[in-house]
With several copies, the nearest count.
Chain A
Amino acid sequence: MDDLYREIIIEHYKNPGFRGELDPNDYTYEDENPVCGDHIRVDIRVNDSGIVTEAKYSGHGCAISQASADLLMEAIIGKKVEDVKKLTKQDVLDLLGIELGAVRLKCALLPLKVVKAGVYGVGKESELSDLD
C-alpha cells in the first residue's frame, strides 16, 4: 500500500509539471473512466518532424490517474508520434513504479488511453484494446 502511494506519485499529484491546456494544438482528446467519472483531457503539439514538443493534461481524478498523466506528458515530450503510439500498459506501470489491481489499473491507464485515442484519431478501438 504505502508502495502504492510512493513518494513519486504523491509528488506528481501535488506538484504537477504538465497541467494545463494547449490552444492551438495538433492533437487533443478527452475521455473518462466510467467507474469513477474521472476525466482527462490531453493536448499535444508536434513539430514538422512529427516529434512531440509540448503536452499538457487537464481534468480531474485520483492521485494515481493524475500522477500517471503528469509522468506520461513528461515521457512523451521529445518522442516521435509513431513511438507514442507504441507505448504500452507496462510502460505506464514502469513510469509509476507500482503494481495495481484491475480497478485502479483503469485509473493509471486512462491518460495513456486518451493520448493514444488522440494521436490515432477517435474510434480505433481495436488498437487500444491492449489497454483493457
Chain B
Amino acid sequence: MSVDFSKYKQDFPILSREVHPGKKLIYLDSTASTQKPQIVLDAMDDYYHRHNANIHRGVYTISEEATELYENARAKVARFIHAPSARSIVFTRNTTESINLVAFTWGRKNLKENDLVLLTELEHHSNIVPWQILVQEKKIRIEFIPVLPDGILDMNAYKNLLEKKPKLVAFAHMSNVLGTITPVKEMTTLAHQVGAIVLIDGAQSVPHLPVDIQDIDAEFLAFSAHKMCGPTGIGALYGKFDLLNEMPPFLGGGDMIRKVTFEGFSTNDVPAKFEAGTPAIAEAVGFGAAIDYLSSIGMEEIAKHEQEIALYGLRRLEESGGIKVIGPHNQRGGVLAFDMSGIHPHDVAQILDSEGIAVRAGHHCAQPLHIKFGLPATTRASFYLYNSKEDVDSLIKGLDKVKMMFD
C-alpha cells in the first residue's frame, strides 16, 4: 500500500504562495535547498520563545534545556543515518564545511606530497575545491573516476585507479545534476581493500534515500540540514569515532578546548573538539525536528515517491521533443537536468518563473561535469516529498511556452 503524498504539501506554507498574480509557486529546486514544514519552524520558534541560552556551560534551567535540546538533535541525526553513537556526529554549517573539516584536519595531517586522492567526475565543487587547495598547499595529486556517457561511474576505471593506492576516495552518493546513485557500499569495500579512507558526500542522498552508514562502512559522511526540510546554517559530519579522536582540531576557540593557559591549550573530547564557539543551537533544534518529520513519513516511502515522479518526468521530457535529459535512465534520484538545443537555460528558467515554476539554470556547482558533457549549463528540475506528477505536467506546459517564444 503506497502512501498518499498529496497531504504533505499543506505542511509547507510557502507552497501556497502566489509568486505572480494567479501563479502559485511550483517548487522544483529542492536539490539546491528544500522548503521547510511548519513543524520545523515551530520547533525553532519554541526554542527561542522558551529555552534560548548558550549551551554546555550554563547551570541555570534554560541553558540546561538548550543543552539537552542541542544534544538530542545530535542523537537524532546519529539515529537517522544509523551511526553507532551521537559522539560520531559533528555539527557544521553545511556539507561544504563538513568536507573542508576533513580536508583541513585529517587531510593536512595524513596527506603528503604525491599522495593520491580519488574523486569522481560528477562531484559538486564542494568535494573538489577542498582537495585542490591541498594540491596547492601540499602537492597531493587528484585523479577523477570517469563518468560514462549514460551518467554512471566507470567501475572498471575505478578498479584500475585503486591500483595506484589512493589514500582517500571521496565521492557523492547521489549526483546533484545527473541524479546518478553511486554504488557506495561496493566502492567503499573496494577502497578499503587498498587501505584507502572513504568520504561520502551525502548532500543529496541523506535527504532522499535511506542511508545506513554502518552498513556502508565509509569513514566520513557529509550532509546539510537545509536540503532535508531543516534550516539553513547547519549541517553535519559523521566520522568514525577513532578517526575523529585522532584528528587534530579544526577551528580554535571556546568549547573545543579542555584547558587554556597562556602557554597553550588541550582539546576537548569528540565531537566538541570540532565545534569551536557558540554553535547553531536553534538550527540544531530545527534539524532535529526535520529528521523527526522525515522519519514520520519514512525514507523508503520518500525515495519511492520521488523515483516515481522522476521517471514520469523523464518520460514526459523526452516525449516533448527538442529536450535532452542527461544522466541514467533507471536507478536515479529525483533530479532531471536537461538541455534544450538553442535555448539558454537562463531563458528557460526565467520564462518558467513567469508561470510560477522554480527551476535552476547553470552548472549547479558541477562545472567539471558540465565541461565533460560539453554543456556550459543545463536547466534542472528536482523533486521532493511535496512534489507530484501534476508539477511535472505544469513543467511540461511551461516548456512548451518556452519553445513557442523561441520558435
B197 within 8 A of A: no
A64 within 8 A of B: yes
Contact of A62 among B346, B353, B354 (CB under 8 A): B346
Known: A37-B367, A39-B376. A63 touches B64 (CB 8 A): no
Instruction: Report whether A104 and B377 are in contact in the complex, using a CB–CB cutoff of 8 Å.
Output: no
State the CA gap A87–B32 with chains docked (Å).
36
State the CA gap A63–B346 with chains docked (Å).
8
Residues of B close to A64: CB separation below 8 A:
346-347
Contact with A along B50-65 (1 / 0, CB 8 A): 0000001111000110
Contact with B along A1-35 (1 / 0, CB 8 A): 11011000010001000000000000000001011
A36 within 8 A of B: yes
B351 within 8 A of A: yes
B165 within 8 A of A: no
Residues of B close to A1: CB separation below 8 A:
20, 350-351, 353-354
Known: A37-B367, A62-B346. A104 touches B406 (CB 8 A): no
Residues of A close to B370: CB separation below 8 A:
37
Residues of A close to B57: CB separation below 8 A:
35-36, 103
Contact with B along A49-68 (1 / 0, CB 8 A): 00000000000111110000
B98 within 8 A of A: no
Instruction: Report whether A35 and B376 are in contact in the complex, using a CB–CB cutoff of 8 Å.
Output: no
Residues of B close to A4: CB separation below 8 A:
350, 354
Instruction: Report whether A34 and B376 are in contact in the complex, using a CB–CB cutoff of 8 Å.
Output: no
Instruction: Report whether A36 and B362 are in contact in the complex, using a CB–CB cutoff of 8 Å.
Output: yes
Residues of A close to B68: CB separation below 8 A:
101-102
A73 within 8 A of B: no
State the CA gap A125–B363 with chains docked (Å).
26
Instruction: Report whether A34 and B405 are in contact in the complex, using a CB–CB cutoff of 8 Å.
Output: no
Instruction: Report whether A10 and B64 are in contact in the complex, using a CB–CB cutoff of 8 Å.
Output: no
**Nearest A residue to B59, CB-CB:** A103
State the CA gap A120–B363 with chains docked (Å).
30
Instruction: Report whether B362 and A37 are in contact in the complex, using a CB–CB cutoff of 8 Å.
Output: yes
B361 within 8 A of A: yes
B258 within 8 A of A: yes
Contact of A103 among B64, B344, B354 (CB under 8 A): B64
Residues of A close to B334: CB separation below 8 A:
none
Residues of A close to B351: CB separation below 8 A:
1, 5
State the CA gap A1–B402 with chains docked (Å).
12
Known: A63-B344, A102-B67. A37 touches B405 (CB 8 A): no
**Nearest A residue to B68, CB-CB:** A102
B257 within 8 A of A: yes
State the CA gap A102–B69 with chains docked (Å).
12
Known: A102-B67, A103-B58. A36 touches B363 (CB 8 A): yes
Residues of A close to B67: CB separation below 8 A:
102-103
State the CA gap A35–B370 with chains docked (Å).
14
**Nearest A residue to B61, CB-CB:** A101
State the CA gap A37–B367 with chains docked (Å).
9
State the CA gap A104–B327 with chains docked (Å).
28
State the CA gap A36–B361 with chains docked (Å).
7
B268 within 8 A of A: yes
Contact of B377 among A2, A36, A63, A103 (CB under 8 A): A36
Residues of A close to B367: CB separation below 8 A:
37
**Nearest A residue to B355, CB-CB:** A1
B313 within 8 A of A: no
Nearest-neighbour CB distance to chain A for B219, whole angstroms, equals 20
Residues of A close to B345: CB separation below 8 A:
36, 62
State the CA gap A66–B56 with chains docked (Å).
21
Residues of A close to B63: CB separation below 8 A:
103
Residues of B close to A96: CB separation below 8 A:
none
A69 within 8 A of B: no
6 A-B contact pairs sorted by A residue (CB < 8 Å): A34-B258, A35-B57, A60-B376, A63-B344, A64-B347, A103-B64
A residues neighboring B (CB under 8 Å): 1-2, 4-5, 10, 14, 32, 34-39, 60-64, 101-104, 107
B residues neighboring A (CB under 8 Å): 20, 56-59, 63-64, 67-68, 71, 257-259, 268, 344-347, 350-351, 353-354, 361-363, 367, 370, 376-377, 405-406
Ranked nearest first, the 10 interchain pairs of A and B with the lowest CB-CB distance are: A1-B354, A62-B344, A62-B346, A101-B64, A37-B376, A34-B258, A63-B347, A36-B362, A62-B347, A36-B377
